[in-house]
Amino acid sequence: MTDAPPAPTPLHLLRSHSAPISTLALSPDNERIYSADATGLVVVTNTRTLRALAAWNAHTDSILGIEEWHTFVITHGRDNKLHVWRRIEELPAAARIGGSAALPSLPVPALCYSMDVNALNFCRFGLLPLSPPNDGEAEAAPTALFALPNLVDSSTADVWTLPARTRLHAAIGQDDKAPRAAANPGARNTTGIIMALHLFQRPGGALRLLTAYEDGSVALREYTRGDAPSVEGAGWAALWAVRLHGESVMAMRVARAGDFALTVSADHIVGRYNLADDAPADGQHGVIMRTKHAGNGAVALRDDGRVCAVGGWDGRARLYSTKTLKPLGTLKYHKTACQCLEFARQAPGASAPEEGSGRAEVDEDDDEEMSAAEVEERTRWLVTGSKDSRVAIWSLLSFDK
């Protein structure tokens, strides 16, 4: 930290919200920032003009998660709803009329479908798109799986399909509840409710679910049966469970490469979990890494998995190297808790299949508004959202050696 240049001020500040920001997301092509606040308002901000493309009240309560999926936007709110919206399509720069700070009416995206979900435990959905954008063009509609806490029991998880909205697996994690309950009678579930989950696929194709719990533990499960659907957690074998935190896990993030995960909690520990090896020796599933600052509410990983950002309740975002947890810098702007943060994509991909085909030819000259340097600079953005209802955009160093 001593060698590093002084911490920057935010590159830009977005003032679209008047309530604490609850979650953030960036589109895969880095063109849009999705920010959602505690009142259920979602604002889509163009990263070029830094102006809202759309702002609408998606939910009636705080929003837990938002994610762009092909031409859709999935929002998950505390009002026990999960909505899938059709993404707002921007006009090309040439067709746009001069922008304005205060547009009279912003478009509201069309609601495609919604479903009732369990939002008791603040845990956002975990999305696993099944048709990657590269070869998904031929298919009519993209499909995806997503995991959510169980409708009845918040300590177990369900896996649903999109757009069919059918439950594929139910109550994952129920089977290993029994012995624990026996060992500790009286408690309904020792692990507590699920705090974060991540659904992903092994290279072999097996589904895996990583869940973080209220008691500070993290468990990895794999679906061993070939068929679907399953109920009561049948066929989901627990690979390992490890408890690194003394407090409940506040946030978990899995590296884009899928080789490790990080968790943060109210304590000063950052948990690092090895997902690369199928069967590592006992005690090597997770490593405790200590930081100097307790009380972290959010964590984000850069695409290459080398840098992570941890959002603290003191409003600061701290950057660490993921391998050694060496501090890389502190971003100080927010006055109250930094509740969510997100890195821009380092290799911005196509956001939707229909654009994917054209993307190859779209090189510097055709990009009317941004030069290659600016696009490159945008990949080094970090977006933080805080309880003080502001979204800050930071431009980071590449931290390359």
* Binding residues among 278-337 for another protein as defined by CB under 8 A: 333, 335
Q: Nearest distance from residue 27's CB to another protein, in Å?
A: 19
Instruction: Count CB-CB contacts under 10 A for residue 41.
Output: 20
- Encoded one letter per residue, x for contact with another protein by CB under 8 A and - for no contact, window 43-62 reads -----xxxx-----------
Task: Return the residue matching tokens 């070939």.
Answer: 226
Of these, 89, 99, 202, 229, which contacts another protein (CB under 8 A)?
A: 99
186 binds another protein (CB under 8 A): no
Q: Nearest distance from residue 314's CB to another protein, in Å?
A: 15
Of these, 2, 3, 5, 15, which contacts another protein (CB under 8 A)?
A: 15
* Binding residues among 333-372 for another protein as defined by CB under 8 A: 333, 335, 365, 368-369, 371
For another protein, the closer of residues 99 and 358 by Cβ is: 99
For another protein, the closer of residues 14 and 212 by Cβ is: 14
65 binds another protein (CB under 8 A): no
Count the residues of the shown chain that bind another protein, applying the rule CB under 8 A.
Answer: 27
Counting Cβ atoms within 10 Å, is residue 24 exposed (0-12), middle (13-18) or buried (19+)?
buried
For another protein, the closer of residues 15 and 401 by Cβ is: 15
376 binds another protein (CB under 8 A): no
Q: Nearest distance from residue 257's CB to another protein, in Å?
A: 34
Q: Which amino acid is at 377?
A: E
For another protein, the closer of residues 341 and 391 by Cβ is: 391
Sequence-distant contacts of 275-278: CB under 8 A, at least 24 apart = 275/210, 275/220, 278/239
Q: Nearest distance from residue 357's CB to another protein, in Å?
A: 23
106 binds another protein (CB under 8 A): no
Of these, 9, 134, 284, 321, which contacts another protein (CB under 8 A)?
A: 9
93 binds another protein (CB under 8 A): yes
89 binds another protein (CB under 8 A): no
237 binds another protein (CB under 8 A): no
Which of these ranges, 96-104, 111-119, 222-230, 276-284, lies near another protein under the rule CB under 8 A?
A: 96-104
107 binds another protein (CB under 8 A): no
Q: Nearest distance from residue 159's CB to another protein, in Å?
A: 40
Of these, 100, 110, 138, 164, which contacts another protein (CB under 8 A)?
A: 100
Q: Nearest distance from residue 106's CB to another protein, in Å?
A: 14
3-state secondary structure the chain: CCCCCCCCCCCEEECCCCCCEEEEEECCCCCEEEEEECCCEEEEEECCCCCEEEEEECCCCCEEEEEEECCEEEEEECCCEEEEEECCCCCCHHHCCCCCCCCCCCCCCCEEEEEECCCCCCCCCEEEECCCCCCCCCCCCCCEEEEEECCCCCCCEEEEEECCCCEEEEEECCCCHHHHHHHCCCCCCCCCCEEEEEEEECCCCCEEEEEEECCCEEEEEEECCCCCCECCCCCEEEEEEEECCCCCEEEEEECCCCCEEEEEECCCEEEEEECCCCCCCCCCCEEEEECCCCCEEEEEECCCCCEEEEEECCCEEEEEECCCCCEEEEEECCCCCEEEEEECCCCCCCCCHHHHHHHCCCCCCCCCCCCHHHHHHHCCEEEEEECCCCEEEEECCCCCC
Q: Nearest distance from residue 398's CB to another protein, in Å?
A: 19
Q: Nearest distance from residue 332's CB to another protein, in Å?
A: 8
134 binds another protein (CB under 8 A): no
10 binds another protein (CB under 8 A): yes
State the residues that interact with another protein by CB under 8 A. Answer: 6-7, 9-13, 15, 18, 48-51, 93, 98-102, 333, 335, 365, 368-369, 371, 388, 390
